[in-house]
Structure 1
Amino acid sequence: MSATDLPDDDRALAGEYVLGLLAPDEARAFAARLADDPALAAEVARWQEDFAPLAGEAAPVMPPARVWRATSARLFGARRRGWLTWGLPLAAAALAIALMLAPDLFSRGPTAPVDPAFRAEIAAEDGSLALAAAYDADTGALYLERRGGSPAPGRAHELWLISGDALPVSLGVLPTDRTALSLTLDPELRRDLEGATLAVSDEPLGGSPTGLPTGAVLAAGTLTPA
């Protein structure tokens, strides 16, 4: 079957998958189909190519070296100890408290909070990727603005929250059709944001299949009081 022969429902699902609009369980099920359905994978790639252009350029702000070291230690150090062998129940629990992406943001775009409680500059060491984050405590919304960089062909950027000693929690795959988006944080995630790390990893289309980072950490930053 070619991409042009796909049912309309699958084409729509491919678009929602690329934009990060599917619920975690739906995204996992869709990702599993991609390995055995080349036509569906091609449709996902087409959506990503359509959404790839990013507008706007800004000089990235580098995070302190200690943030980068701590993030790398948390993500890769834990993985070396075998976190990927802890099983799907743990992955499901992490994804269960992920964010819900408001669908109407893609039609009119979000607005940055006027008086955010926390801010973060999420930047790569070499400046190849940079995002700004601002958290609105009144609404529980995390505003993100991509200031530079985009995923490699056939890959995706996934955002993670690392708070205290907890495992990284996926905040979803970052869409590529907008420079700005807003995510509503689950109440469980709002309690320990000060000093938490936001990190972006390189993942397969649709995000990590395990619920934990599997690719390189591309950028990181710490949430600090605004």
Structure 2
Amino acid sequence: MIPTSPADRRALIGEYVLGLLGEPEATEVRELIEADKDAARMALEWERHLLELADELPAQTPAPNTWERIQQSLGWLPAESSRSADSPAARWWNSLGLWRLTTGALALLVLLSWLPGVLRDQAPAGATYTAVLQQPGEAASPGWVVNIDAEGTLSLVSLVEDQIPEDRSVQFWTLIDPAEGPRSLGLIEPGEQVTLNAEQIGAVQAGQLFELTLEPAGGSPLDRPTGEVLYIGRAVLTASN
């Protein structure tokens, strides 16, 4: 259903332009754009935003251990210096997964650039955030949703019913600054909603990473994730006072 709120409608059209909607929602938005001048204008504004932002994106180099975990989770071979057509680096560069991952990151940045106050050093007072955690890889699909309300309370809601081996645990993590490293938010039971207060999760900001990993029973033996990334996503500002 097309929302009546201008802000919600603009956000939905942005998701359509970025190719993030599934059917039949994408068809509904496409028909709206064809029939409504304001909707068409919003779509053009999103396209212009996307092109302008793409020109400004700086190159980012992840930490070696983070990059290794990403490659392992996505099933990619480690990148090599060879640039031949058959090299792992060439296969990675031509991978559909790479472009979908890039699109997802670009979608986040476009949303952040559009929403006022998101890129400030400190979160706006009374801000609320949402993060959709998806499976990594080419066939990414939503599995969990993180919501942070104006009081800073976090709720983690499952959209799936995963079967986890008895000798393994699912651990919830967050990351704001790569230099500080990830922070554990505790173990979770698959399929069960989790609620954490503001003191437990600390400050939240747009772009903050949340992920669920498969760890040994009782959780990671280290102060960082050691197992497979099950679901991952970043926080997006949804409202602020």
Q: TM-score range by the shorter chain?
A: 0.3 to 0.5
TM (norm. structure 1) is: 0.46
TM (norm. structure 2) is: 0.43
**Which gives a bigger RCO, structure 1 or 2 (Cα 8 Å, sep 6+)?**
1
Q: Which has the larger radius of gyration?
A: 2
